[in-house]
Structure 1
């Protein structure tokens, strides 16, 4: 496979699945597909950037990208995964916006079977299993591991600065003064444009960056300090509250 995914062949059935073997993966620049794409991670972690925001895709998760969604990919550490391409006419009823899903065992097994199919029209049994894959995508609830980006010019400036330095500990009033916006306006517009308060957005950013750093092999203590936490315990508490496990247990299970 090229980079972390592969374009489907020029002539494919309405559902086409491919797998990537474990090993080093390369960054893929912003591109799009005429088909919808379900990009899943079996091992390691990958980030997917779209115009509206960024998703971190850890093991046992997948991101859904509707047809013609421009996206870029960046893996962290050795990565193994798979992609399911769905022809645009078959995407009716699937999510209309990019979203992250926690994959079910049924979905993973169905995709594993689909990756063994030879090129050509799906037979009746294959079409039924392909329908199961689409049913699972429709039914699985979205997971909050995305980072929506604000559109307001002043808020975008703050967001970009924090993405570059998530450990920057300036308060909301300090950021407001830096960007030339009233603190109350900053607080209100962040909720309106991202669905998250400024504090919650920054915590989400730090959590996603922590997942990236864990996948790259960074020590938990170094991650906590780099992300601006006063002590490791505070970072571990936030991580466990968000994902239900400590960073150490998460990293061990992901590997």
Structure 2
């Protein structure tokens, strides 16, 4: 098991580029990591779930959390490593964060070796920016209950599956009321909310590859592009058109 040791500075930056299909095997860091991709998409996996990290977003990994990372497309990874005693309060678990334009520029400059990145005031600004980032629902938790696990694996394999919870209840031999209670108890999500997150994770790489919103919506079981766009906006805070437009602008800054 690879263990990266704590840096002497409160915040340090590290760039890493990966080809299509790149993979970083299981490892842990003694410090927290803010993992950001200038381009490409990453999927972070821990023992308790998975997170998708599209461009313009970052994932927060607390100290000593074992994880592996999968790359989709050519990934230009830029990371900030933050000493445990300097971690912003409230960031005790892995989560996907919406990176501000200011923090993006600070990360890019720091990973390019900008001498100002070591300035204590600049590092404090980085920490304050990280503390204020919006948490996005791009996490897919997995349940322990065998019946729920069976349902979740089936949905992960076919995100467009149209079964209702009542349909699944008949297949796994439990009442829909019991499954509803277990979803809330184990995952703190309803079945529909959990499935929406799976569908969003499936949709992002396809949209980034240039597929139309209408086609992605149809393939994932939505009645219309409007219904899909409403779900996308609710979870990411932007419509698919706005999100992809912002990515095209940012691609010129790499």
TM-score of the pair, normalised by structure 1 = 0.82
1:201 and 2:194 matched: yes
Which residue number corresponds to residue 75 of structure 2?
79
Mapped contact 2:3–2:27 kept (Cα < 8 A): no
Tell me, in whole angstroms, the C-alpha distance in 2 between the residues paired with 1:189 and 1:174.
16
Q: Which residue pairs with 1:66 in the alignment? A: 62
The alpha carbon displacement at 1:154 in A equals 1.5
Distance in 1 separating the partners of 2:88 and 2:36: 20
| Residue 234 of structure 1: how far off its partner (Å) | 3.1
Q: How is 1:28-177 mapped onto 2 (pairs within 5 angstroms)?
A: 28-91=24-87, 93=89, 95-117=91-113, 126-177=119-170
Question: What's the CA shift for 1:117?
Answer: 4.2
Would the alpha carbon gap of residues 239 and 94 (structure 1) be closer, same or farther in structure 2, given more than 3 Å must change?
closer
Q: Note the C-alpha offset of 1:50.
A: 2.1
Check the 8 A contact 1:24/1:78 in 2, yes or no.
yes
Structure 1: gaps (5+ residues)? 1-5
Give SS of 1:159's match: helix
Alignment of 1:184 onto 2:184: no
Distance 1:124 1:45 in 2: 26
Distance 1:134 1:11, change over 3 A: closer
Distance of 2:194 and 2:6 partners within structure 1: 42
CA contact (8 A) 2:117 2:123 kept: no
Kindly report structure 1 stretches of 4+ aligned residues shifted beyond 4 Å: 122-125
Question: Runs of 5+ in structure 2 lacking a partner?
Answer: 249-254
Going from structure 1 to structure 2, the CA distance change for 1:80 and 1:168 (only over 3 Å counts) comes to same
**Number of residues of Structure 1 aligned to a counterpart in Structure 2:** 246
Q: Deviations over 1:125-161 (max 9, x none)?
A: 6233222222222232312222232232221121111
C-alpha displacement of 1:69: 1.1
CA distance in 2, matches of 1:38, 1:124: 15
* 1:218 alignment partner in structure 2: 211
User: Which position in structure 2 is the counterpart of 1:3?
Assistant: none
When normalised by structure 2's length, the TM-score is 0.82
Two-structure CA RMSD over aligned residues (Å): 3.0
Give me the whole-angstrom Cα distance separating, in 1, the residues matched to 2:242 and 2:127.
32
Q: Give me the whole-angstrom Cα distance separating, in 2, the residues matched to 1:81 and 1:236.
A: 28
